[in-house]
Copies of this chain bind each other. A is one copy, B any other.
Amino acid sequence: VPRRTGPRERIVTELQQLDTFIAAQALYTRLALAGDRISMSTVYRTLHLLVGLGRVDVMSDGHGQRLYRHRPGLTHFHYLTCRRCGLARAVEASVVEDWAEQVRAAHGFAHLDHKVELSGVCGPCADETH
């Protein structure tokens, strides 16, 4: 049974205030700037815990770093992220889920899992380019 502690509460709160994915290190820095002296170990351990509990989603940034984000709801999500500002919107993806199931059946696979990531440049960020 996980305990309710100061560091954990602050980490969760900080994550919930973001609508972006964030690296463990960046999260650590934000907390530090906010005056919370929480160690990297605790940040990593807490993120692990939250991922395990399904309260946080992870994605890899393609350069060996993992990014975390508070999960906006109770189920599995897919995100559309802005490469410029980091904004990450959860998107409806039943089309993909259905397609995945068909592919699974067609190839005789079992226990299918899927991952979908969309990234681009959001409207506001695109406008800033003049």
Q: Which residues of A does B touch, CB under 8 Å?
A: 58, 60, 62, 64-66, 80, 82-83, 89, 91, 93, 95-96, 99-100, 103-104, 107-123, 126
Contacts and interface: CB of A to CB of B under 8 A. Distances in A.
A121 B96 contact: no
Contacts of A93: 99
Residue of A64, A96, A117 most packed against chain B (CB within 10 A): A96
Number of copies: 2
Contact of A66 (B58, B64, B99, B115): B64
Given A66-B64, A80-B103, A103-B80, A121 B116 contact: no
Residue of A64, A114, A118 most packed against chain B (CB within 10 A): A118
